[in-house]
Structure 1
């Protein structure tokens, strides 16, 4: 189907991407909230991310309504009513998706603050990123809505009014997208560098690096928005010219939410897998014949040893690091450990173990 023909319609493809991404984000966000409540670590960053998801879903509704009125088709082939309504809902989609993306990045900055807050400079820098994401994305919405004296002229081309030069909106969009891209890069790379410098097992380091660098995927979508941002200056056929920009805006919005939430749900996934494995082992043990157990003292010592090993492994586990707000004591390059000593006695004598 030729992009210039009257039968051209990119709407169904956008709808499929839109609601598939929305469903994935809702699932991941639900798991995030469950995981945080399970370890009693629900915090402000989770609330901000929930706000980002609500805004993203509202944006999804707006683009769905826009497509229902002809968005994704050529403007000239739409009825007069659909021309107005498609651009009106598209404008709503633009505004909501921009703010949702900003809230998503701000939430991830807050999440990192809990982990890296003992590093003064990074603590300050993350607060700057938080404020910058809120400000630049809200200002972007203002530039969209305030570009004309009569706001209705944004979606109704028959309204005669005074507007800014379209290049003003385009240039600011370049600035906004560039800052968002740089933010994604920093929020992915710096935690990766920080965790790699810790004295941890290589397996743990690799897991942390993968989890914390997922934001690079969202960065790709942000870069693609920069590539297609010129299309917003196309006033004559916005319903078709901005299709690629809208696809990447949707992808960026939901990728920010999903990639920033995946590190939070790892503990829940691991716990579920362990529970399944434990149930399978319990069933297997029930089928084995019973044998005599160890002496009481040995049993107590074995239980204590296992508990200490489990505690040590837990302190160096990915889920402990990502959920512990007091992690970063990087002076000396490691995580402090505590060793407990237990005295085990029997009836005849006392021995130190």
Structure 2
């Protein structure tokens, strides 16, 4: 039996003999996971409300961020269950059942802890694919590389983790089987190295998701002040990058931890922070229309349609009609259009039925680009999207 397996068996079966009190980090853990997932839920609902209110539909990036949120909620519920059976307390104060159940719950919570931020990063990659579609100077293939890399790297590491003991994964939480660790499982240091690799790739992805929006902003025609404001929305992945770095650092000595139920709590907290930060920073840029003060507009009927092939610029045509009985001999119908195609008409008053009502109506028909790239560009504030979709920013 290896030294690591012997130490692990002793720690789980008998508990560490120390003079520390029976305290619990569980309540802090529960508060942290539910407060953060609540913020994520509010942000995602704000994102979805904006999309449905402005664009009248959802897109693939929304589906992925919804998936990330659902997995995050399951992670919070799983951690809560773990705290109920002893996660957060010193292992030597727990019964044999509590030790096994806390370790089992904690082990399976890692599955959701890795899949949720993976889906969140993939969602933001899809958003950037949409935005890159409005700027021919920005290539899409690097985005696809990181999109596919997120899926391949994270799934591969998870498979390696959950198959490291073959079909004997219960060794991790069953005290009577822990002595078989050296026989059935690979060296724990290998899992630590894989964790470093996974964390490093996720950090690199966050760095890319921070840098690419800066390129898009630099290419757009906005004032410096507007560019800085837009960067504050689109470059928030730097926060996810910081959380990923800290989480990777916390994983440095996982294979050396013996008091698992207590000492793993800081690592779980940083996993939770990273998970929720990824969801939040992927959603905030698309909530921008909620914080723009809309100006008063006349009553309009807007009929979205595909624009003419020759231009992305909007065209509008409106007509204005007013009439009243007293003091007038005729009414005037004055169409207003850029082309002045329809001439002005005068209608004698005696042709109208008597009425003392003044009616004023205005109709505006606007052609807008309804394709995904320009819709997303308009929502986040890129000028090319606002030109193609003026109605989305009003």
Shorter-chain TM-score above 0.5:
yes
Deviation at 1:74, TM superposition (A): 1.3
Aligned partner of 1:347 in structure 2 is none
**For 2:139, what is the secondary structure of its paired residue?**
helix
Aligned partner of 2:169 in structure 1 is 151
Against the structure 1 CA distance between its residues 265 and 121, is the aligned structure 2 distance closer, same or farther, given a 3 Å change threshold?
closer
Aligned partner of 2:69 in structure 1 is 53
User: Deviations for 1:36-82, whole angstroms, at most 9, x for unmatched residues?
Assistant: 11123521010011001111111111111111111111112211111
Aligned partner of 1:285 in structure 2 is none
Query: Which segments of 5 or more consecutive residues in structure 1 lack a partner in the other structure?
Result: 279-295, 302-306, 312-317, 330-334, 338-353
C-alpha RMSD of the superposition: 3.4
TM superposition outliers: structure 1 runs of 4+ over 4 Å: 118-121, 296-301, 324-329
> For this pair of structures, how many residues does the alignment match?
301
User: Deviations for 1:196-244, whole angstroms, at most 9, x for unmatched residues?
Assistant: 2322122321221111111111111101011110242135221122111
Aligned partner of 2:377 in structure 1 is 321
Give 2:294's match in structure 1, choosing from 274, 281, 300. 274
User: Deviations for 1:71-106, whole angstroms, at most 9, x for unmatched residues?
Assistant: 111112211111011111111211111011111000
Against the structure 1 CA distance between its residues 191 and 27, is the aligned structure 2 distance closer, same or farther, given a 3 Å change threshold?
same
Give the structure-2-normalised TM-score: 0.69
Q: Within 2, Cα distance between the matches of 1:106 and 1:121?
A: 18
Deviation at 1:113, TM superposition (A): 0.2
Q: Tell which structure's C-alpha radius of gyration is larger.
A: 2
Is the CA contact (8 Å cut-off) linking 2:131 and 2:376 kept in structure 1? no
Q: Within 1, Cα distance between the matches of 2:149 and 2:138?
A: 16
Pair 1:84 & 2:100 matched: yes
**For 2:32, what is the secondary structure of its paired residue?**
helix
Against the structure 1 CA distance between its residues 52 and 336, is the aligned structure 2 distance closer, same or farther, given a 3 Å change threshold?
closer
Is the CA contact (8 Å cut-off) linking 1:231 and 1:241 kept in structure 2? no
Is the CA contact (8 Å cut-off) linking 1:196 and 1:209 kept in structure 2? no
Against the structure 1 CA distance between its residues 99 and 269, is the aligned structure 2 distance closer, same or farther, given a 3 Å change threshold?
same
Is the CA contact (8 Å cut-off) linking 1:105 and 1:256 kept in structure 2? yes
Query: Which segments of 5 or more consecutive residues in structure 2 lack a partner in the other structure?
Result: 1-17, 298-331, 338-362, 368-373, 389-394
Against the structure 1 CA distance between its residues 322 and 165, is the aligned structure 2 distance closer, same or farther, given a 3 Å change threshold?
farther
Give 1:94's match in structure 2, choosing from 86, 110, 121. 110
User: Deviations for 1:291-323, whole angstroms, at most 9, x for unmatched residues?
Assistant: xxxxx999979xxxxx99xx9xxxxxx997343
Give 1:223's match in structure 2, choosing from 223, 245, 251. 245
Is the CA contact (8 Å cut-off) linking 1:70 and 1:83 kept in structure 2? yes
Q: Within 2, Cα distance between the matches of 1:236 and 1:242?
A: 10
Aligned partner of 1:114 in structure 2 is 130
Which is richer in helix? 1
Pair 1:24 & 2:39 matched: yes
Q: Within 2, Cα distance between the matches of 1:77 and 1:194?
A: 55
Q: Within 1, Cα distance between the matches of 2:206 and 2:93?
A: 39
Pair 1:130 & 2:150 matched: no
Is the CA contact (8 Å cut-off) linking 2:138 and 2:216 kept in structure 1? no
Is the CA contact (8 Å cut-off) linking 2:287 and 2:379 kept in structure 1? no
Give the structure-1-normalised TM-score: 0.76
Which is richer in strand? 2
User: Deviations for 1:264-298, whole angstroms, at most 9, x for unmatched residues?
Assistant: 1111232xx438x99xxxxxxxxxxxxxxxxx999
